[in-house]
Amino acid sequence: MSIPVAVIGGSGLSTLLDAATAELRLVQTPYRTVEVLVGTLGGRQIVFVPRHGAGHSVPPHRIDFRATAWALATLGVRAIISTAAVGSVSAAHPIGSLVILDQYLDRTHGRADTFFEGPDVQHLPSADPFCPELRAIAKGTLGQEAVDGGTVAVVQGPRFSTRAESRWLAASGAHLINMTLYPEVALAAELNLGTLTLAFVTDEDAGDDAMPVDAELVFERLRAARPRIVDAVERLIAAIPADYRPRTLIEPRAVEAVLGRPTS
């Protein structure tokens, strides 16, 4: 069975579907077994994966991003809606904002970030890492409820930034700071999956005048914002056309080889 839409829940969204009616599936991948829930939201069948595992048990640098992308692709997913908690270093992205991300800066290290380790080498086009069509759908659906556009700097985690790092990232062009969106977005794109990330601003990172951020504050604000985030996600799911097709950024035969499917 092909399930074209998936949701990856970030911090504060480790549950989404009704556990009493959703179906738990175990997807075997070359990397690890991925637990997914299949259920209904926004009037359609979706796959849900909590990014940090059940109970927020996996830290950012230990997430097996390849396993998640591989599992979703084999389930027939074409569009991924993800949520993410972010800190802001931009006055245009204040605390409490929902943001439709359009760019990222990778400041991670040591993460497995490609399916193509050789001998088949593929070079992913990344000028517009988030799917422009899905972003346009999100803008039309959410309107003034969300900030359209934002560059997120993805840091290694699990620690938060120093004030010097916040200044440095802002000077580098970042509006927001996060720990998990790289290589998640790039790996999905390598499998020709479209991605849309709706970020929620929980804090001002570690700017010079900012209140020092800690996990308790982040999760408190995420709990308060959860109904708003879930409502937005549900509307986005409903707005994705049934005939949506993501961009072909990698040769299909290369993707089929990664997924272990025979090519014609």
> What SS3 class is residue 56?
coil
The one catalytic residue among 106, 120, 203, 209: 203
> What SS3 class is residue 128?
coil
Nearest to 200 by CA among 98, 101, 104, 130: 98
Q: Would residue 214 show up in a list of annotated catalytic residues for this protein?
A: no
* Whole-angstrom distance, CA of residue 202 vs CA of residue 220: 9
Q: Would residue 148 show up in a list of annotated catalytic residues for this protein?
A: no
Reading the block at residue 256, the tokens are 């089929």
The one catalytic residue among 113, 205, 214, 243: 205
Reading the block at residue 31, the tokens are 């990397």
First vs last C-alpha separation in the chain: 21
* Whole-angstrom distance, CA of residue 81 vs CA of residue 104: 16
Task: Work out the number of other CB atoms within 10 angstroms of the CB of residue 53.
Answer: 16
Nearest to 218 by CA among 13, 71, 2, 8: 13
Reading the block at residue 20, the tokens are 């009493």
> What SS3 class is residue 247?
coil
Nearest to 79 by CA among 3, 24, 19: 3
* Whole-angstrom distance, CA of residue 98 vs CA of residue 147: 6
What is the set of active-site residues? 203, 205
